[in-house]
Structure 1
Amino acid sequence: MSARITDLSRRRFLNGSLMIVAGAVTAACSTDPTGTSSSGAKTTLNVWFHAYGEAGTQQAVLRYATAFTKANPDIAVKVTWVPGDYTSKLNATLLTDAAPDVFEIGDFSESLARRGQIAALDDIYGSEKADFNDNAINSVTVEGKLYGVKSLDDVMVLYYRKSKLSKAGITPPDTFDALVAAAKELTTKKNKGLFLGNDGLGDSPIVAVRSNGGDLVSDQGKAAFGSAQALEALTGLKRLHDDKSLLLGFTTDWGDPSAFTQNVVPMQWCGLWAMPAINKALGDDFGVMPWPAFKAGGTPVVRVGGWTSCVNAKGKKVDEAKKFVQWLWIQQSDLQKDWTASYGLHVPPRKSVAATADKLSQGSAKDTVTLATKYGKANPGTWSSAVSTAFNTAAAKIVGGQGDPAQLLADAVKKAQTDIDKQLS
């Protein structure tokens, strides 16, 4: 459920009752606290979710909302299910009186907290704060306060076919050089060796920089991807393109495992969410590995994303909204387990819930969780669309041999820093 790809290939428009609101297609359903209508409630919360692609997710959300209203009859919940470009629709609506009371966001946006759009939620965590994993806490912390509650962690890794690598005499690559060599060796006249995304990049620029000891944005708010380590790693990615070992322009993008399960490629960057489908198609003929260390002195990298529930600080129902978020994502461990394990596969941010998640306790799923714990990296809170675009545009030109790599990165850093400064001002 990576935020970056939800509005593209992996999230699909869902069938159901739809209505048009301010030009945006949404599906809205309300809980019924009285059994006949929502008029018995003193308050109705508008809660936004992006349109998850996994079957059963919309029904699950409505079921959770109904259970909340049953426990809190004075608060009804209108679930607004938003397909398409969720982030753009959310950002536009937050500027209006129609802004939702509770909404989820993908990679956490620090600027929402800094401009007072989302409420601090320290008071609803209480003693349960210690039960959330470090990533779930650190990713929503701004100047010492917590501005969201993580609902799920998404983990992204490299999948590989055990039989294909074994037949070629290849061990799972543990360095970038080995990954390049493996992708080239596994490329044939009919198939490519590796799928990173239809653009040939996917998350590879981000994880490549970090695998060489580089950073994206420093703790001091400085764009850091213009470093020598970043330049070396991004220039290295060009080798995969020069070798023509990457699958490009497939029918689905990297968030969907079809290229891997349909034997189009023996290695693919994808998420834990796809593992049930992969297991169904391939049995145990697959394994997972982190993005390998670029070279000695670097470190393997696993990208950790996910979704976070936030409260609109400018709304008129902040207390009720906090109560809903606390009830659902902090108090209801059974619902958290259902949400992360019944629709695709994800990691519960609550350590106690993760420890009892049977589907994560064995095989490649367990391996993925172990890799995330050891090598997991989340994007910084200042990694906005503008910053990401500047970085990825430069990376695409570098791997495509379009210009001087150092100058391309330097220009991208300037653009990114301008946006970061706006966020932090």
Structure 2
Amino acid sequence: MSAQRAQLSRRGFLGGSLLFVAGAAIGCTTSPTGGGSSSGAKTTLNLWSHAYGEAGTQQALTRYATEFTKANPDIAVKVTWVPGDYASKLNATLLTDAAPDVFEIGDFNEGLARRGQIAALDDLYGSAKSDFNEGDLDLVTIDGKLYGIKSIDDVMMLYYRKSVLAKAGITPPDSFDALVAAAKALTTKDNKGLYVGSDGIGDSPSLAVFSNGGDLVTDGKVAFASPQAVEAVTGLKRLHDDRSLLLGFTTDWWDPAAFAQGVVPMQWCGLWAMPAISTALGDDFGVLPWPAFKSGGAPVVRVGGWTSCVNAKGKNLEAAKKFVKWLWVEQTQLQKDWSESYGFHVPPRKSVAATADKLTQGAAKETVELAAKYGKHNPNTWDSAVSTPFAAAATKIAAGKGDPAQLLADAAKQAQAAVDKQRS
């Protein structure tokens, strides 16, 4: 999943009373924990979370905070649940005295560390460090220091309807050519064959680049204008030319409605949606990676998720670090609950993932295995200033508007300026 898009949509736009901070609507808050009040607490932490769409998540996070305060009566925790454009609201508030003590971010961005907005958390890991997924550690490592602790890994992949493909005599696609052919063959006058997003783009440009052996940003250098990247992104035009993509659906790719309701037989979505899909379809679905673009490429599943960070400039730094360590390092049972009780997610800690029973069977197990084999994180420089020019160029390429190599070269110049600004 693209966490940046998720902040805007799949886990956002939930209702609630609004708290205005720094002139922006922020979200609803709970009372500080500890018996419903901060009585007896010397410190009250403000914890920010984006508005998860999975039922029960807000209640669970509030319960975790309450349990922390019971174990640490001198520290209360106020949970602020932020609907809508979480990233923009967070970035704006981090520049003010109203910045939260603890907050989560999706698609970890190294610019926050370089600007001194988030604290290094190396001392929180302790002996548990080796138990964390290496990719998750790499994601939050800047100049040798760890600036966050991953709370969940979100895996994104292709869902397909077994019965629909079987009836059409179509083998689950294992190459991009096969995906194009399957989407076209499954398109009828009433239904389209594939859903990658309401705009027809979604994550497909980055998947295309990865699937052809390319990369987005490498060691601070934008790489999405390479020959293999141009070739793969240009290939997306075939899906648009065939008119086999569902466009303008009422919910975007991170919501499983189009697939679960039978509007499309193939959809790019996430592991989080699997319980809802299972409820709707039983076992009549399978999962696949985005296929290799051609021989020499590699299949891809996206690994995103959310990372817990601490405000480096906050007045409650040590208490905030204590809370993050308690929840995301020490409380393995709560980590397990967070990952498998409210939609499905992969715990970043290997030992916790091994005990997540709901992820050890069926399509969930297959997904976890695909992530281990083909998983790709977006680079930690991949913020909106870097990704937006790329997405805009890919949209034009898919529509046949302009020279692909030139469009991506121009986008790469804009993106490189943004990366350089992050790292300066």
TM range (shorter): over 0.9
Counterpart CA distance in 2 for 1:230 and 1:32 is 50
8 Å CA contact retained: 1:196, 1:204? yes
Shift of 1:180: 0.4
Match of 1:380 in 2: 379
Q: SS at 2:180's partner residue?
A: helix
- 1:17-46 deviation line (CA, Å, top 9, x unaligned): 54433331411113343x473141111111
CA contact (8 A) 1:212 1:293 kept: yes
In structure 2, C-alpha distance between the alignment counterparts of 1:32 and 1:406, rounded to whole Å: 55
* Amino acid aligned to 1:226: A
Matched, 1:75 2:72: no
Tell me how far apart the structure 2 counterparts of residues 86 and 69 of structure 1 sit (CA, whole Å): 26
Residue identity in the other structure for 2:174: D
Q: 1:30–1:76: 8 Å Cα contact kept in structure 2?
A: no
Q: Secondary structure at the match of 2:221?
A: coil
Aligned amino acid, residue 407 of structure 1: Q
1:228 maps onto 2:202 in alignment: no
Matched, 1:253 2:273: no
Indicate the residue corresponding to 1:119 in structure 2.
119
Secondary structure of the 2:8 match is coil
TM-score by length of 1: 0.97
> Whole-Å Cα distance in 2 between the matches of residues 421 and 104 of structure 1?
24
- 8 Å Cα contact 2:2-2:203 kept in structure 1: no
Paired letter, 2:338? W
Distance 1:118 1:251 in 2: 37
Q: Specify the alignment match of 2:345 in structure 1.
A: 346
* 2:93 equivalent in structure 1: 93
In 2, the alpha carbon distance for the partners of 1:14 and 1:36 equals: 23
Q: What's the secondary structure of 1:7's corresponding residue? A: helix
Contact 1:31 1:69 in 2 (8 A): no
Q: Cα offset for 1:282?
A: 0.5
- Provide the rounded CA distance (Å) in 2 between the counterparts of 1:252 and 1:334: 33
Q: Is the contact made by 1:51 and 1:84 (CA closer than 8 Å) also made in structure 2?
A: yes
Q: Which residue of 2 aligns with 1:264?
A: 263
Q: 5 Å matches for 1:268-283?
A: 268-283=267-282
Q: Give the Cα separation in 2 of the matches to 1:165 and 1:36.
A: 53
Give the Å deviation of 1:12: 4.1
- Corresponding residue for 1:24? 25
**Corresponding position of 2:313:** 314
Structure 2 equivalent of residue 364 of structure 1: 363
Partner of 1:201: 201
Aligned-pair CA distance for 1:119 = 0.6
1:323-368 deviation per Cα after TM superposition (whole angstroms, max 9, x unaligned) = 0000000100110011111111100101111101111001100000
Preserved CA contact (<8 Å) 1:5 1:255: no
> Which residue identity does 1:105 align to in structure 2?
I
- Secondary structure of 1:11's match? coil
Q: State the one-letter code of the partner of 1:301.
A: V
SS of match in other structure, 2:65: helix
TM-score, normalised to structure 2, is: 0.98
CA distance in 2, matches of 1:354, 1:7: 25
Whether contact under 8 Å (1:43, 1:74) holds in the other structure is: yes
Is the Cα–Cα contact under 8 Å of residues 7 and 85 in structure 2 kept in the other structure? yes
Equivalent residue pairs, number: 423
Distance in 2 of aligned mates of 1:36 and 1:385: 38
Q: Residue type matched to 2:284 in 1?
A: D
State how far apart, in whole Å, the 1-side matches of 2:99 and 2:12 are: 24
Q: Runs in 1 of length 4+ with deviation above 6 angstroms? A: none
The structure-2 alpha-carbon separation of the partners of 1:13 and 1:416, relative to structure 1 and needing over 3 Å to count, comes to: closer
Partner of residue 63, structure 1: 63
**Contact 1:109-1:382 within 8 A present in 2 as well:** yes
Stretch deviating more after TM superposition (24-33 or 290-299): 24-33
Cα contact 1:2–1:154 (8 A) shared by 2:
no
Helix, strand or coil for the counterpart of 2:347?
coil
Structure 2 equivalent of residue 334 of structure 1: 333
Contact 2:8–2:86 (8 Å) recurs in 1? no
Unaligned runs of 5+ in 2: none
* Alignment-derived partner of residue 423 in structure 1: 422
Instruction: Give distance in 1, aligned partners of 2:230 and 2:221.
Output: 16
Q: Show structure 1 runs of 5+ residues with no match.
A: none
Partner of 2:7: 7
Partner in structure 2 of residue 243 of structure 1: 242
CA distance in 2, matches of 1:23, 1:148: 26
- Asked if the contact 1:51/1:83 (under 8 Å) is kept, the reply is yes
Q: Residue 397 of structure 1 aligns to which amino acid in structure 2?
A: K
Between the aligned residues of both structures, percent identity stands at 76
Alignment deviations for residues 173-196 of structure 1 (CA, whole Å, 9 cap, x no partner):
111001001101111111100000
Partner of 1:135: 135
| Contact 1:193–1:246 (Cα < 8 Å) also in 2 | yes
Distance 2:191 2:158 in 1: 18
